[in-house]
């Protein structure tokens, strides 16, 4: 049991060493992109929510 744990940890260390980690600039760029897209989607959904609320209140209620 203990040997399997040691083998797992060694394999994990080997895999992490072969990972191609992003640079700081790439991480910053991707983070800003995700924030920007999230804000755009939030504004778009809010815009449609306001339109549908207006239409429902005007024509249905």
* Cα distances (angstroms) measured from residue 3 to each of 6, 7, 34: 5, 6, 42
Q: Which domain holds residue 39?
A: 23-61
Q: Which pLDDT tens digit goes with each residue over 2-31? A: 899 999 999 999 999 999 999 999 999 999
Output the pTM of the full model: 0.68
Structural domain total, the chain: 1
Asked whether residue 49 carries a pLDDT value surpassing 80, the answer given is yes
Question: Please, are residues 22 and 30 in contact by the beta-carbon 8 Å criterion?
Answer: yes
The answer as to whether 40 is a domain residue is yes
The answer as to whether 52 is a domain residue is yes
The answer as to whether 55 is a domain residue is yes
């Amino acid at each position: 049991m203990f040997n399997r744990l040691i083998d797992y940890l060694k394999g994990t260390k080997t895999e992490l060493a072969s990972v191609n980690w992003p640079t700081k600039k790439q991480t910053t760029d991707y983070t800003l992109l995700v924030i920007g897209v999230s804000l755009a989607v939030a504004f778009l959904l809010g815009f449609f929510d306001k339109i549908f609320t207006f239409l429902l209140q005007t024509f249905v209620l």
